Amino acid sequence: MKKKLVNVGLILFVIVFSVAVFFLINLDFGKEKVVLDYHSPLDVPDSVIMPDVSQSYKDITIIEAKKLIENNKDNSDFVIIDVSSNYNSGHIVNAINHPIANGSFYRVIKDLDKSKDYLIYSRNDVDSLKAVDELINYDFENIYRLRGNYGAWVEAGFLVGR
54 — pLDDT class (breaks 50, 70, 90): low
Mean per-residue pLDDT, 104-117 = 96
Closest CA to 66 of 87, 92, 89: 92
**Does the pLDDT value for residue 116 go beyond 80?**
yes
- 67 pLDDT tier (thresholds 50, 70, 90): very high
pLDDT in tens, 71-90: 999 999 999 999 999 999 99
Residue-wise over 54-93: b if at least 16 C-beta within 10 A, else e?
A: eebbebbebeebbebbeebeeeeebbbbbbbbebeeebbe
Rounded mean pLDDT of 132-150?
94
State the CB neighbour count (10 A cutoff) for residue 132.
23
Question: What pLDDT is recorded for position 41?
Answer: 40
pLDDT at 16: 75
Short-list 155, 88, 140, 72, CA closest to 80:
72
* Nearest to 120, CA basis, from 88, 98, 89, 151: 98
Class of domain 53-161: alpha beta
Q: What is the pLDDT of residue 40?
A: 36
Residue 24 or residue 29, greater confidence: 24
Q: What is the chain's mean pLDDT, rounded?
A: 81
The residue among 9 and 36 whose pLDDT is bigger is 9
- Across the range 133-139, mean pLDDT stands at 94
Tell me which range, 9-18, 44-53, 113-122, 149-158, is most confidently predicted by mean pLDDT: 113-122
Beta bridge partners of 143: 118
d(CA 144, CA 58): 5
Q: For residue 8, is pLDDT > 60?
A: yes
Cβ proximity of 12 and 19 under 8 Å: no
Q: Which residue has the higher pLDDT, 117 or 14?
A: 117
User: Which contacts (CB < 8 Å, 24+ apart) does range 91-94 have?
Assistant: 91/150, 91/160, 91/161, 91/162, 92/121, 92/150, 92/153, 92/158, 92/159, 92/160, 92/161, 93/159, 93/160, 93/161, 94/69, 94/161
